[in-house]
Structure 1
Amino acid sequence: MSSVSVVIPCYKYGHYLADCVRSVFEGNEGVDIRVLIIDDCSPDDSAQAARALAATDPRIEVRVHETNKRHLATYNEGLLEWADGDYSVLLSADDFLAPGALARAVALLDANPSVGFCYGRPVHFQHPGPPPPARTEVKGHHIWPGRWWLERRFREGHGCITSPEVVVRTDLQRKLGGYDPRLPHSGDIEMWMRFAAHADVGFVRGVDQAFYRLHDNNMSKPHFAAMVEELGQRRAAYEVTLERCGDVLPNRDELDAVIHRKLARIALRRAVRAYDRGRVDELPVEELVEFARDCWPQYRSLPEFRGLQVRRRIGARTMPYLQPLVLSAVAGKGREWLWWQHWKRHGI
């Protein structure tokens, strides 16, 4: 029987713990599961909630920090120091797994030793409110060569993974290390790319593997101001990947150019969107343009910059009314929105 170590970091999320832990065991018969809840010195009753759960099930352990160590140190403590199962999962206390998620992932990993980690579709739902029912009928799976999957991340310029839907081979986690402390808000995508540089990637098709809670936290000016910081962290994740894995990537220089051009385009798209939505006074348009210039010195040749110039000539007040008539340089909204929601939840 394959074993899975599930690490649940918790900070002020004790009220979510019962649902989170319940989901770990639901529908996963035939998998040897152990759970570690790490409370990172929560100022509320989260530690008590964790201990109460552990008292009901010997498979659940609890650690309580006397001082707050922050999220990355807490993640690495569980993944690198405690996890000893065949596979490992990092599951935030406010998220939860779909029924049978671990059994499905274990079946894929057991059958494909070349795969370093696998994932499936995460369901994003807005809190408060119930999530939709999970799909649990497997339609098959994909096994992608790791370096192909990594290169696609560079070409798209964003991660395709939220986090709770991932199951990792524990020995690979220990070999390649945990979350990089230089990347407090984008360490997850760097770690998945690092793994992909050394192993294949699996995907469970047709099912929902986890539920990711989008907290009801309306965008405000501070959130908008963080747009450039988020892009900087994203850029750092790719640069750290090339730094750590460049020796096994024969097209390293090409990937470096690809990602810097892509991120420049994303920054300019956000500036374009500020004009289209009449939010030039709220969004850091000039800082976004400066980021694009620093990221890709040839930024003036990009179609998004030309679109921005058209909008500047039309003017910020008039542009929202004419936007349907102006060819938009904005694309890829769906993935960008999910990335931004992830940043809002974890980056600020």
Structure 2
Amino acid sequence: MPSATPSVSVVVPMRDATPWLPSLLAALVHDWDTGFELVVVDDGSKDGSADLVCRLCAHWPTERWQLLEGKGEGVSSARNQGIMASRADVIAFLDADDRPFAGRLSKPLHHLASNPHLSHVHGGWWRCNAQGERQQPVRPWDEGAGFSWHQFMEHKAVLPSAWTVRRSALLQVGGFNPALRHSEDVDLILRLAAAGHQGDWIHEPLVRYRIHSGNASGRLEPQLKGLLSVIDHHLNTLPNPQVGWAKDQRYSTATWATWQAWQAGNSSLALQLLKGAMASCPYPLVRRPVHLIEAMHRSSMRIGAPFNREHLLASAFWRQAESMLLQR
């Protein structure tokens, strides 16, 4: 049994991650001096990911890493399994297809040590292509994102690979909800906030968030509907005086999901999501089309994607969307 307690446990859930593991572990070594332990949970890989982890970590001291066999029940259960097996008081999450920058572990550890009232800290990230090339920085604090329940509900800015949490806080709220396959991170931050746990931003990028076919279009519909379900569940906890604010949040989340589907080229899903949003629309008829265009433009600019207003207005999608928006 190792005698030294690690400073931080890095929990990595994986499934069929062989393309990403070498760069992930090579980058993690830049924070070797933090004294971390690596806890990898193999959640049903069929591509030899577990064997690759063993080969890549074979020269590491045995107390610095452990490989667990997951139950194949999804990322929430896999992360929970890693949390329970971890030995440190602080948990840093990393997804296997992302790549940490130097300081991914040391900077959150320093911030938590300097601010004992905080339960968790979150850094920024770079959106990257499948090759890991940087495309767009994400700095949620520039848009007013925060960690109180209401602040987070308004922005919903979370990326597990840039998130570090005290183990005691995770255990207090029961970790990730194993019933959730999508937006489990949004749900967990909202439960942390509801329980009074405070968070803070580290105002610099901590990780490359890699966007590739395995985490994109094929899972888009369950991802977006999962987010809407989680948001709806938490908004239903509000007292009646906040019904108006809750409707605003439902509608803004649904219109963001509409843009996400449209931007991914799935117009039928975008229209389906917009139709579901109309019951919560807080805007008068004349304002609705303008608001949706503005929301789609802001969302595109946020990720550095081009937005062609004229192309949108001339599309078959917009003709159907506008008709829907102007119905009484």
TM over 0.5: yes
1:332 to 285, 292, 298: 298
Cα shift readout 1:125-158 (whole Å, capped 9, x = no counterpart)? 11125348x9xxxxxx99x998x632112234xx
1:78 is the counterpart of 2:82: yes
Contact 1:98 1:211 in 2 (8 A): yes
Does 2:36 match 1:33? yes
- From 244, 254, 257, give the equivalent of 1:267: 254
SS of the residue 1:232 aligns to: helix
Does the 8 Å CA contact 1:172/1:195 hold for their aligned counterparts?
yes
Task: Return closer, same or farther for 1:110/1:68 CA change in 2, 3 Å cut-off.
Answer: same
Alignment partner for residue 194 of structure 1, among 191, 194, 197?
191
Q: C-alpha deviations, 1:184-231, integer Å up to 9, x for none?
A: 2111011112222322112112x22111111157986x677x2xx544
Pick aligned residue for 1:22 from 26, 29, 36: 26
Q: Residue 176 of structure 1 aligns with which residue?
A: 173
Q: Contact 2:132–2:210 at 8 Å: present in 1 too?
A: no
SS at 1:183 equivalent: coil
Alpha carbons of 1:270 and 1:18: their partners in 2 closer, same or farther (altered >3 Å)? closer
Q: Which residue of 1 aligns with 2:153?
A: 154
* Cα distance change of structure 1 residues 85 and 114 upon mapping to structure 2, 3 Å threshold: same
Hey, what does 1:315 align to over in structure 2?
Answer: none
Gaps of 5+ in 2: 305-328
- TM-score, length of structure 1 as denominator length: 0.70
Aligned position for 2:97: 94
**What is the aligned counterpart of 1:233 among 214, 226, 235?**
226
Match of 1:47 in 2: 50
Aligned equivalent of 2:319: none
- What do the CA deviations read for 1:268-294 (whole angstroms, capped 9, x no partner)? 57768999x9x8x93345523431134
Pick closer, same or farther for the CA change 1:210–1:305 going to 2, 3 Å. farther
**SS of the residue 2:148 aligns to:** helix
Provide the residue aligned with 1:319 in structure 2: none
1:239 offset after TM fit, Å? Answer: 3.8
Secondary structure of the equivalent of 2:40? Answer: strand
Cα distance in 1 for residues equivalent to 2:10 and 2:293: 48
Kindly tell me: are residues 77 and 223 of structure 1, through their superposed partners in 2, closer, same or farther at Cα, counting changes over 3 Å?
closer
Deviations 1:232-269 (CA, angstroms, capped at 9, x unpaired): 322322344457xx5xxxx7545554243233245357
Query: Aligned partners of 2:191 and 2:257: how far apart in 1?
Result: 28
Partner residue, 2:267:
282
CA distance 1:271–1:166, shift in 2 (3 Å): closer
Whether the 8 Å contact between 1:264 and 1:291 is mirrored in structure 2 is: no
> Within 1, Cα distance between the matches of 2:85 and 2:301?
33
Aligned residues: 291
Superposition deviation, residue 28 in structure 1: 5.0
Q: Deviations over 1:30-86 (max 9, x none)?
A: x22101111122111111101112321121111234x6232221111111x212202
Question: SS of the residue aligned with 1:258?
Answer: helix
Alpha-carbon distance in structure 2 between the residues aligned to 1:186 and 1:336: 20
Q: Is the Cα contact below 8 Å between 1:274 and 1:285 reproduced in 2? A: yes
Give the Cα separation in 1 of the matches to 2:170 and 2:116.
14
Question: Residue 211 of structure 1 aligns to a residue in which SS?
Answer: strand
Tell me by how many angstroms 1:306 deviates. 4.4
Does structure 1 retain, via aligned residues, the 8 Å contact 2:254–2:277?
Answer: yes
Hey, what does 2:160 align to over in structure 1? 163
Deviation at 1:105, TM superposition (A): 0.6
Q: 1: distance between equivalents of 2:119 and 2:225?
A: 28
Root-mean-square deviation (CA, aligned residues, Å) is: 3.8
1:313 alignment counterpart = none
Report the Cα offset of residue 18 of structure 1: 2.3
Contact 2:10/2:94 (CA < 8 Å) preserved in 1?
yes
Q: 1:214-233 counterparts in 2 under 5 A?
A: 214-216=211-213, 226=221, 229-233=222-226
- Residues 25, 151 of structure 1: alpha-carbon distance in 2 compared, 3 angstrom cutoff: same
Shift of 1:20: 1.3
Judged with a 3 Å threshold, the aligned counterparts in structure 2 of structure 1 residues 129 and 33 are, in CA distance, closer, same or farther, namely: closer
> What letter corresponds to residue 332 of structure 1 in structure 2?
R
